[in-house]
Chain A
């Protein structure tokens, strides 16, 4: 099975900061990667699919890049509502593994 790692697992940031989170896959998954945001007690929200595509309604301060085994989620100008936990997920095959998550805290 494909495994995903994320770094960092935790980060402290301030409003207005640029935040970068990395996700690495144990094998080539092309661009079949999604990113989700989750706030406490809530279901996750899809932020990015195909490594770099934003669904409608996701603010453009979120961006994704990468392919094969290394991917990045970038949040430019962090907003108060962005403090949350972020997960990557591979969509290349079953099982659709999630990364362990990155908590972005104040």
Chain B
């Protein structure tokens, strides 16, 4: 069964740190881009960070740059989000999601095909409060 299991959330004081984990089962994590998305209470979805197949390309939303670090261990079929210098506004449910991306290699260029985020973890709650 294809699924993602998220863990590591909890209550932390402002300025503190947490490390979220996302364990994949039923598929090979290394075949997919992976992402972290969060949702503050009563708010919409906010993409937080993403990472390509082997981890040599990452992206972050501006509000977490320099504080959060995404990483992956394909041998362990796991994705991580290290969150430092946490702020009250980081309080949210955090989801991980896989994203299928394919490349077509042509003589002069590469074309990327993006298939959206089709499998999501159940989410873990991060609460930043004094």
Q: Do A and B bind each other?
A: yes
Given contacts A89-B47, A100-B44, contact A94 B59 (CB under 8 A): yes
The answer to whether B120 and A43 have CB atoms under 8 Å apart is yes
Given contacts A43-B95, A43-B122, contact A95 B47 (CB under 8 A): yes
Question: B120: which A residues are within 8 A, CB to CB?
Answer: 43-45
CB distance from B78 to the nearest CB of A (A): 18
CB under 8 Å from chain A, chain B span 11-38: 35, 37
CA distance A8 to B99 in the complex (A): 27
CB distance from B3 to the nearest CB of A (A): 11
> With an 8 A cutoff between CB atoms, is A71 at the interface?
no
CA distance A39 to B123 in the complex (A): 14
> With an 8 A cutoff between CB atoms, is A55 at the interface?
yes
CB under 8 Å from chain A, chain B span 59-116: 59-62, 95, 97, 99, 113-116
> With an 8 A cutoff between CB atoms, is B40 at the interface?
no
CA distance A34 to B99 in the complex (A): 11
The answer to whether A55 and B116 have CB atoms under 8 Å apart is yes
Size range of the interface on A?
Answer: 20 to 34
CB distance from B48 to the nearest CB of A (A): 9
A 1-26 binary contact with B (CB < 8 Å = 1; else 0): 10000000000000000000000000
> With an 8 A cutoff between CB atoms, is A50 at the interface?
yes
> With an 8 A cutoff between CB atoms, is A62 at the interface?
no
The answer to whether A95 and B61 have CB atoms under 8 Å apart is yes
Question: B45: which A residues are within 8 A, CB to CB?
Answer: 36, 38, 44, 87, 89, 98, 101
Given contacts A91-B114, A98-B45, 8 further A-B contacts (CB under 8 A): A32-B114, A34-B117, A36-B45, A44-B95, A44-B120, A49-B115, A94-B60, A96-B50
A residues in contact (CB < 8 Å) with B: 1, 32, 34, 36, 38, 43-46, 48-50, 55, 85, 87, 89, 91-92, 94-101
Instruction: List 27 A–B pairs whose Cβ atoms lie within 8 Å, in order of A's numbering.
Output: A1-B62, A34-B114, A34-B116, A34-B117, A36-B45, A43-B97, A43-B121, A43-B122, A44-B95, A44-B117, A44-B120, A46-B117, A50-B114, A55-B118, A89-B117, A95-B47, A95-B50, A95-B61, A96-B35, A96-B50, A96-B59, A97-B47, A98-B37, A98-B45, A98-B46, A99-B44, A101-B45
